[in-house]
Chain A
Amino acid sequence: MIERLKQFDWQRDGVLVAFGVFVVYALIFQGQVFHNPLVWRNMLSSNADIGLIALGMTLVIIGGGIDLSVGSLFALLGVLGLKMMGDGPTPIGVGWMVGCGALLGLAQGLVITWGKVVPFVATLVGLLVFRSGALVMANGGTFRSENSNWSAVASEGVVIPFVSAANGRPVELYWSAFLFLGMAVLLGVLLTRTPYGRRLVAVGSNEKAAKYAAVKVDQVRVWSYVILGVCTGLAAWVGSAKLNSVPSSNAGQLYELEAIAAVVIGGTALTGGRGRIWGTVIGVLFLGMITTMLVAADVSTYLQGLVKGGIILVAVLVSRGRTRE
C-alpha cells in the first residue's frame, strides 16, 4: 500500500486528488447545495458545450498545437446553423454546424501544415475572422432559432433511476450531457486504442522521430483540427440549444481559454505529446464545480476569475515540475 502510494504520480494525477477533496468538501460543507442532484445535473449539462470543445482541444494540444479560434467558431457555427435550418428539422441545423466546423477546422489545419503558419497565429486569425463572420451574419444581434424543437438537446433527456430531487420529482439528465460523455468515450478510445491516437502522441512528443517512423505528420495534425472543428460544431448545437438563440457578439467568448484551462488542469502537457481525455473531463467538471461553489458561497462574479486563474496557475506549475525533471 505504501509502495503504491509512493508510486503515485502527483504531478500527473494530483488533479484527481484535488478534485476528490473538492467533492468531499462540497458535500460536507456546502451540503445544502451539493446534496441536491439537480445541481450536479445542471453542472454537467451547462458545461457540455465547453466540455465538447475541450475534448477536441485535448487532441490538438497533444499533437503539439493550439487553437484560439474555437470561441469565435462556436458563435459562427451557431448563427450559420440556425440560419440554414430556419424552421426546418433539427438534423439540418446540426449537420450544418458539424459539417462547417469540420471544414473550417480542415482549413485551419491546412494553413498550419501546408502554409507553415504557427498554430497560435493561424488560429488567432481564425478568432478574428470567425467572430466577424458571426457578427455579419447576425447583423451584430442575437440570432434566434425558429425551430421550436431546437432546445430539446439541452432540456430533455433520460430520467436517472433511483434519484429524485428535493421535491420528490425525478431528475432528468439532458442529452447534452450524454453527448459530452459519449464524445469523451469516443475520443478516449481514438486516442488510446487506435493507430491515429498513437501517431498523434508521437507527433506531439517528437515530431522528427514520428517522421522517421513514416508517420504522415501533417496529415495527423490536420485531422486533429478537423476533429476539434466537429467538436465545436456539436458544442454550437448544445450551446445554442441552451438559450434557443446565439448572441453573435459574445457567444463563446473566452471559451478557447476556458477549454485550454480544462485541458491543462486535466494533466495534458501544453508542449504536446502527453495527455489524456478523461483528465480533460475532470478538468471541465473541476472548473464547473468551482463556479458552482463560488456562486453558492455568494462570491462576487468579479472575483471568480481570480480564483480560477489561481487554480490554473497551480495546475501549470505542477505539470511543469514534471517536465523539468
Chain B
Amino acid sequence: MPRVEVRDLVKEYPGVRALGGVSLSFEAGEVHGVIGENGAGKSTLMKILAGVERGSSGDVLVGGVGVEFRGVQDAMRAGVAMIHQELNLVDDLSVAENLFLGREGVGFIDRRGQESEAERWLLEVGADFGPTKMLGSLSLAEKQLVEIAKAVSTGAEVLIMDEPTAVLSVREKTALFDLIRRLKSEGKTVILISHLLGELIGNCDRISVLRDGEYVGTVDAGEVDEAGLAAMMVGRELGEMYPNIPACSGEVVFEVEFFWGDDLVKSGNPSLTLPKLGEGTDDGNPSLTLPKLGEGTDDGNPSLTLPKLGERIDENNHALSLPRHGKETVESTATNAGCSLRIRSGEVVGFAGLIGSGRTELWEAVLGLRRGHPALGTFDREWVKHHAVYVSEDRKGAGLHLDFSVEDNIALPWLGRFGGMFTNRGEVRQSAEIWRENLAIKVPDVRDRVGSLSGGNQQKVSLAKWLFGDPELVILDEPTRGVDVGSKAQIYEIIAGLVNEGKAVVVISSEMQELIGLCHRVVVMRGGYPVGVLERNELSEERIMELAAGVGA
C-alpha cells in the first residue's frame, strides 16, 4: 500500500485548471522526484498534499485512508510536512523557537526543555549550530536544515522538498542528499521537486512527470536519462512553442559595461582561468585564441563582445582599466575585469540566474529605477532615458494599474502625446484599439478594467503600454510569468515581431527553456554579477544551471 496517494486530483482556480485529474502514489522508504515545467502543476499538487490548499475534486489517501486536509495542521497530524522553497521561518525568533512554533503546548514555555530537544533534532539532521541562534543570522542552507529538523521533529513520515538545492553550494548539496538517504533508510518518504534533471536521476528512486496540469508518467530513475525526462516534460517540439528568431546582424544600439563577480575569480574557479589575449592556452589549443574586445571571436560571430568562459580580457583593454565602484584601481587582475555588453538591433539577449542573483536589480539600475549596482559600469544614461523601456516582472505591483481601464493603462506614460492641458480621450481610445488589434488582447472593450483580464492579456496590455513609445531597446522581465500556455506562445510571437522590426530585446527569465528558445545569447548571473555568457549553440539548461549555481562541471 502506498504511503501517500492521490486519485483524480483536480484543482481549479478562477479561469485556470492547475491540475486536471492527477493520480500518483508515493511509497514508504522511497525518494520520489516530481518534475515539470513552470506551471505544470507541481507546486499546486504539493500544496494540496501539505494542506496549504484544497483540491477542487479527487481524493488524497494517506496509508490507504482517504483524508481531507483543512489546513497545515491536518497534514502535519497525518505525517506530511513540506519544506517550502521560500523558507517559511520567522527571522525574529531563535532556532528552537522556530522548531516549536505553533506547537508550544499550553502554559509557560519550558525554554530549557525546548532548547535541549531542539539540539537533539539539529544533531539528527547534522546541523552544526545551536538552538539559541537567532534565525535571521543563519545562512539559507542552515535555515533549510532548520526546516528539515522542524519537519522531522513533528514526526513527519512524508517530507516534501520544493527545490531544496537551488540555494545550496556543492558541499551543502552533498550533505543534503546524505541526509535524504538517511531519512529514506529510516523508512520515510521524501518527495523532491527540482528542475535539475541530473540531480534527480542521481538521487531518486522514481521520478514522476507533470505537464500542463496533467500526469505524464512515472519512471524508475535507473532507467531514464536526462534527454528522456526532458522529452516527457516538454512533450512537444520546442519549435512549436517558440517562433523562429533569425540570426542577428544588426548595428549595435546599446552598450553597457558590467563587472564580473570577483569572488568567483578569487575562489579559483578553473572555468574562469583564462589565457592572455591573443595567446592560446598552454596546450596550444588554437580555439582559445582570443580576439580583441569589440571584435568578433574567431568563429566570426560579430555579436560576441563579452569574453566567453575560458577566455580572459587583459589590461590593454580599456574596459579593464576601470576600477570597481569604491575601489582604487588595482593591479589589473580578473578581479576587476569589466566587460561591455553590446546589444544589437534585432538581437535577443537573455539574462538568467537564480532568485536573488540580481538580474532584475541590475537592469533596474541601468534604467535608473534604483541607485546604482555594484556590477554596473558606464553607459549612456541619456540614451536609456529616451530609447529603452522596461516591462516589469511584477505586473500587478509595478506594471499596471489594475483599477484603470486598458486604454488608460496604455496611455499613462504617454499622456503628453494626447494633448496638453486636457487629454484627448478619443485619441487615447483609438491608439488603444490599434494595440488591442496588434497584440490580440482579448478584451471586450478597451474601457474595461485591466484587473478583470487574464494574466496573459494583462501581460499584453503591459507590453502595449511600453511598446507604444516605439523604443529601440525593450527589457522584458519574466514576460510569461503567470501566463497560460496559449498566451505564452503569443507573447513569444510578439517578441519575434520586435526582432523583425529591428528592436533590441533583453529577456530576464527564470524559465530556462524560454531563454534557450528565444535568445541569441544568454548572460548568466550569480551573486549579483554576470558570471558567464552562453552563445545560442552552447545553450542548455545544464550549462545555465552550472553557471547560475556556481557548480563547476
Taking beta carbons and an 8 Å cutoff, which residues of A are in contact with B? 189, 193-195, 198-199, 201-202, 204-206, 208-215, 273-274
Are A214 and B102 also in contact (CB < 8 A) when A193-B109, A194-B108, A198-B109 are? yes
Centre residue among A201, A205, A209, A273 by max chain B CB count within 10 A: A209
Interface size on B, residues (CB 8 A): 25
Roughly how many angstroms separate A208 CA and B91 CA in the complex, as a whole number?
12
| Residue in B91, B92, B101 whose CB lies within 8 Å of A213 | B101
Roughly how many angstroms separate A189 CA and B106 CA in the complex, as a whole number?
14
Question: In the complex the two chains form, is A206's CB within 8 Å of B108's CB?
Answer: no
Taking beta carbons and an 8 Å cutoff, which residues of B are in contact with A? 52, 71-73, 76, 82, 84, 88-93, 97-98, 101-109, 111
Question: In the complex the two chains form, is B92's CB within 8 Å of A205's CB?
Answer: yes
Closest 4 pairs between A and B when the two form their complex, measured CB to CB: A195-B104, A213-B102, A209-B88, A214-B102
Are A208 and B102 also in contact (CB < 8 A) when A194-B108, A195-B109, A198-B109 are? no
| Residue in B52, B102, B106 whose CB lies within 8 Å of A215 | B102
| Residue in B90, B97, B102, B111 whose CB lies within 8 Å of A273 | B90
Residues of chain A lying within 8 A (CB to CB) of residue B72: 211-214
Question: In the complex the two chains form, is A205's CB within 8 Å of B109's CB?
Answer: no
5 contacts between A and B (CB under 8 A): A189-B108, A201-B92, A205-B93, A210-B102, A215-B102
Question: In the complex the two chains form, is B88's CB within 8 Å of A194's CB?
Answer: no
| Residue in A194, A195, A205, A214 whose CB lies within 8 Å of B90 | A205
Question: In the complex the two chains form, is A202's CB within 8 Å of B108's CB?
Answer: no
Are A198 and B88 also in contact (CB < 8 A) when A212-B52, A213-B72, A214-B71 are? no
Question: In the complex the two chains form, is A198's CB within 8 Å of B71's CB?
Answer: no
Roughly how many angstroms separate A119 CA and B211 CA in the complex, as a whole number?
42
Main secondary structure, interface of A, reads: helix
Residues of chain A lying within 8 A (CB to CB) of residue B106: 195
Q: Which residue of B lies closest to A215 (CB)?
A: B102
Closest Cβ–Cβ distance, residue B170 to chain A (whole Å): 28
Q: Which residue of B lies closest to A192 (CB)?
A: B109
Residues of chain A lying within 8 A (CB to CB) of residue B108: 189, 193-194
Question: In the complex the two chains form, is A212's CB within 8 Å of B84's CB?
Answer: yes
Residues of chain B lying within 8 A (CB to CB) of residue A193: 108-109, 111
Roughly how many angstroms separate A199 CA and B89 CA in the complex, as a whole number?
12
Residues of chain B lying within 8 A (CB to CB) of residue A204: 92
Question: In the complex the two chains form, is A206's CB within 8 Å of B97's CB?
Answer: no
Roughly how many angstroms separate A198 CA and B90 CA in the complex, as a whole number?
10
| Residue in B73, B93, B109, B111 whose CB lies within 8 Å of A202 | B93
Q: Which residue of A lies closest to B104 (CB)?
A: A195
Q: Which residue of B lies closest to A269 (CB)?
A: B92
Question: In the complex the two chains form, is A202's CB within 8 Å of B101's CB?
Answer: yes
Closest Cβ–Cβ distance, residue B151 to chain A (whole Å): 11
Closest Cβ–Cβ distance, residue A187 to chain B (whole Å): 14
Roughly how many angstroms separate A210 CA and B82 CA in the complex, as a whole number?
14
Residues of chain A lying within 8 A (CB to CB) of residue B102: 199, 202, 210, 213-215
Question: In the complex the two chains form, is B109's CB within 8 Å of A214's CB?
Answer: no
Roughly how many angstroms separate A301 CA and B111 CA in the complex, as a whole number?
48
Roughly how many angstroms separate A211 CA and B104 CA in the complex, as a whole number?
15
Roughly how many angstroms separate A204 CA and B93 CA in the complex, as a whole number?
11
